[in-house]
A = this chain, B = another copy of it.
Amino acid sequence: MILDKVNNPYDLKKLSIEEMNALADEMRELIIKKVNTTGGHMAPNLGILEATIALHYVFNSPVDKIIFDVSHQCYPHKILTGRKEGFTNPDLYLKYTGYTAPEESEHDLFKVGHTSTSVSLATGVAKARDLKGEKGNVIALIGDGSLSGGEALEGLDNASVLGGNIIIVVNDNDMSIAENHGGIYDNLRLLRETNGLAENNFFKALGFKYSYVENGNNIADLITAFKTVKDAACPTIVHIHTEKGHGLTQAVENKEAFHWIMPGTLDNKEIAPRISGECYESITKDFILNKVKENPATCVVNAGTPGVFGFDKNYRELLGKNYTDVGIAEEHAAAYSSGLAKNGAKPIFAVMSSFIQRTYDQMSQDLCLNNSPITMLVYWGGISGADATHLCSFDIPLISNIPNMVYLAPTSKEEYLAMLEYAHSQNEHPVAIRVPMGTVNSTGIKDTTDYSQLNKFKVEYKGEKIAIIALGGFFELGKQVKEEIKSKLGIDATLINPRFITGIDKELLENLKKDHETVITLEDGMLNGGFGEKITRFYGNSDMKVLNYGSKKEFTDRTPIEELYQRYHLTPELIVNDLRVYASK
């Protein structure tokens, strides 16, 4: 194998074009096998393979700096920069993260997993080079899908006036995770159709030098283009037209499904739908579809990640004009939803917990300050074993401390449906719901709560001495803690389902003082700035003892969730043990 001779980017420079083409085939096979085994980003990595080889052939990393956007297209880069064992040796498949990681290699400058960051980061890297009087190329690699993000657009606007060398490689495969949305994509299409020659050129309008490579999967063409711009003294765009999933027919034919795949996808005859049977995603989809039928002014909004919500192509077509994918543009999504609501439409903005981080000011100013009545559905919120870049444990501190926002945490299908109904029908506030995940918990009893009466907690079981306030996804844990307390301490504890994240039920909390000595709060997210601290503050000047459970303020990185639960004492046994230790003090 040629790859045997390639242990770092410098080994690549000894190869002929033919050898590099053969190397690409070898790498493609390795990536397909690895990703099909572990799951991961398939199509983006196959599309950028040749460009990665060409980049490392022409430029001299790490003296020249290559900065990846999102970095779910960094597998070929990892193979070429000393980490090929993570692709050749199945025992080491999980050794390296799926994203760039400076702790793994000097060729990775940043830990990146959110999109649209590379241009701004690269502009800073290039400016530092210039301030230090150093030489070298700074290259940002960004996909067309990422271009729509505000951070990328702000970055382009600034990179173009840097005054020195910065090379932005736009990897245009005519796809975001799903299809692209936005005016910029019409321009990219025009540029592709004119071999880059159209007068109307978004990048030139911003002041960049511009060049185009029609066959972005051809190593020789790419090398020629990169050699031309190497050491350019001014901000430069190289627009390369690649094929997402290149070299794997199934991926090319089904680019969206192969953006990120589950293990074993290639071994199945048909691509299994990511979601089947009743689940909270399907419950949500049914609810939305009914609302669209009832009121044509219902509008579903999301920012470039329809797969997170199970909004597959068929479903999107069903929604038709009542569906807006704004592309990767969470800020716009929030403000757009506010505009919809203020003019009498009924927006439902679906967003993943980790990505709601991209739009704090729009939640605060455009939505909450204006009290625009939208429904915001926050998916995947909770402690997880995810990569550090995709943690979903920060949404409660982020969202719930904004005035006027109502943030709800359902614990069952019935509660979720009642909350959806309330959020969608009211006209008072932005209402966010933390969409439950996992197995559907059905009580079988319709929830008739009037949620417009804000901040009313529900006593699920009235006991004594100890009260457990168990929020949303941790309500089941609350039940288990109650049982453990009964069995180990012989205490018949009270169990409370708070339902509201954004406010406390002062009357209920006050009443607890009569026959309770200890309150336990459980929340599936970070304690700092979260839900439990408000309860503790309420009791700060009383005799009530309060123990808060949730995650610590830290970035964890692919840490198994069981390990995190142990670390944060999120098991019935550990919590009861804490109660024993404290009681003995």
Residues of A bordering B, CB below 8 Å: 65, 67, 102, 109-114, 117, 120-133, 148-151, 153-161, 181-184, 186-187, 199-202, 204-208, 235, 296-299, 321-322, 324, 326-327, 329, 331-332, 335-345, 347, 357-362, 364-366, 368-370, 388-389, 394, 397-398, 400-404, 518, 526-530, 532-534, 536-537, 539-543, 545-548, 553-555, 582
Q: Find out whether the CB atom of A537 lies under 8 angstroms from the CB atom of B529.
A: no
Q: Find out whether the CB atom of A345 lies under 8 angstroms from the CB atom of B149.
A: no
Q: Find out whether the CB atom of A150 lies under 8 angstroms from the CB atom of B158.
A: no
Q: Find out whether the CB atom of A540 lies under 8 angstroms from the CB atom of B547.
A: yes
Q: Point out the residues of chain B lying under 8 angstroms from A403, CB to CB.
A: 553-555
Closest 3 CB pairs of A and B: A150-B150, A124-B339, A160-B183
> Complex formed: what's the CA distance from A282 to B73 in Å?
47
Interchain residue pairs with CB less than 8 A apart (28): A110-B342, A114-B365, A120-B331, A120-B362, A121-B335, A121-B336, A121-B339, A127-B299, A128-B297, A128-B340, A128-B341, A128-B342, A154-B327, A154-B329, A161-B182, A187-B206, A201-B205, A205-B205, A359-B361, A397-B401, A401-B526, A528-B534, A536-B540, A539-B540, A540-B546, A540-B548, A541-B545, A541-B547
A389: shortest Cβ distance to chain B, in Å? 7
CB < 8 Å: which of B110, B131, B546 contacts A297? B131
Q: Find out whether the CB atom of B297 lies under 8 angstroms from the CB atom of A132.
A: yes
A253: shortest Cβ distance to chain B, in Å? 26
Q: Find out whether the CB atom of B401 lies under 8 angstroms from the CB atom of A553.
A: yes
Q: Point out the residues of chain B lying under 8 angstroms from A337, CB to CB.
A: 124
A326: shortest Cβ distance to chain B, in Å? 5
> Complex formed: what's the CA distance from A403 to B553 in Å?
5
A292: shortest Cβ distance to chain B, in Å? 10
Contact flag A158-B329 (CB < 8 Å), given A117-B362, A150-B151, A360-B398: yes
Q: Find out whether the CB atom of B122 lies under 8 angstroms from the CB atom of A339.
A: yes
Q: Find out whether the CB atom of A124 lies under 8 angstroms from the CB atom of B347.
A: yes
A223: shortest Cβ distance to chain B, in Å? 26
Q: Point out the residues of chain B lying under 8 angstroms from A161, CB to CB.
A: 181-183, 186
Q: Point out the residues of chain B lying under 8 angstroms from A154, CB to CB.
A: 148-150, 153, 326-327, 329, 331-332
Q: Find out whether the CB atom of B200 lies under 8 angstroms from the CB atom of A182.
A: no
A402: shortest Cβ distance to chain B, in Å? 8
Contact flag A336-B123 (CB < 8 Å), given A153-B153, A388-B369, A401-B394: yes
Q: Point out the residues of chain B lying under 8 angstroms from A296, CB to CB.
A: 131-133
CB < 8 Å: which of B127, B148, B347 contacts A324? B127
Q: Point out the residues of chain B lying under 8 angstroms from A582, CB to CB.
A: 541
> Complex formed: what's the CA distance from A362 to B112 in Å?
11
Q: Point out the residues of chain B lying under 8 angstroms from A370, CB to CB.
A: 102, 110-111
Q: Find out whether the CB atom of A125 lies under 8 angstroms from the CB atom of B343.
A: yes
Q: Find out whether the CB atom of A397 lies under 8 angstroms from the CB atom of B120.
A: no
Known: A117-B335, A124-B335. 9 other contacts (CB 8 A): A117-B366, A122-B339, A127-B299, A130-B321, A131-B298, A132-B343, A133-B296, A153-B154, A401-B526
Q: Point out the residues of chain B lying under 8 angstroms from A155, CB to CB.
A: 332, 335-336
Q: Point out the residues of chain B lying under 8 angstroms from A345, CB to CB.
A: 124, 127-128, 131-132
Q: Point out the residues of chain B lying under 8 angstroms from A181, CB to CB.
A: 158, 161
A357: shortest Cβ distance to chain B, in Å? 4
A90: shortest Cβ distance to chain B, in Å? 29
Contact flag A125-B340 (CB < 8 Å), given A182-B158, A202-B202: yes
> Complex formed: what's the CA distance from A154 to B324 in Å?
14
Instruction: Identify the interface centre among A109, A357, A528: most chain B CB within 10 Å of its CB.
Output: A528
> Complex formed: what's the CA distance from A400 to B397 in Å?
10
Q: Find out whether the CB atom of A532 lies under 8 angstroms from the CB atom of B537.
A: yes
Q: Point out the residues of chain B lying under 8 angstroms from A554, CB to CB.
A: 403
Q: Point out the residues of chain B lying under 8 angstroms from A530, CB to CB.
A: 529
Q: Name the CB-closest residue of B to A519.
A: B540
Q: Point out the residues of chain B lying under 8 angstroms from A187, CB to CB.
A: 205-207
Q: Name the CB-closest residue of B to A324.
A: B127
> Complex formed: what's the CA distance from A403 to B358 in Å?
16
CB < 8 Å: which of B127, B204, B340 contacts A124? B340
Instruction: Identify the interface centre among A181, A358, A404: most chain B CB within 10 Å of its CB.
Output: A358
Q: Find out whether the CB atom of A546 lies under 8 angstroms from the CB atom of B541.
A: yes
> Complex formed: what's the CA distance from A553 to B401 in Å?
7
Instruction: Identify the interface centre among A129, A389, A403, A532: most chain B CB within 10 Å of its CB.
Output: A403
CB < 8 Å: which of B112, B121, B343, B366 contacts A128? B343
Q: Find out whether the CB atom of A156 lies under 8 angstroms from the CB atom of B183.
A: yes
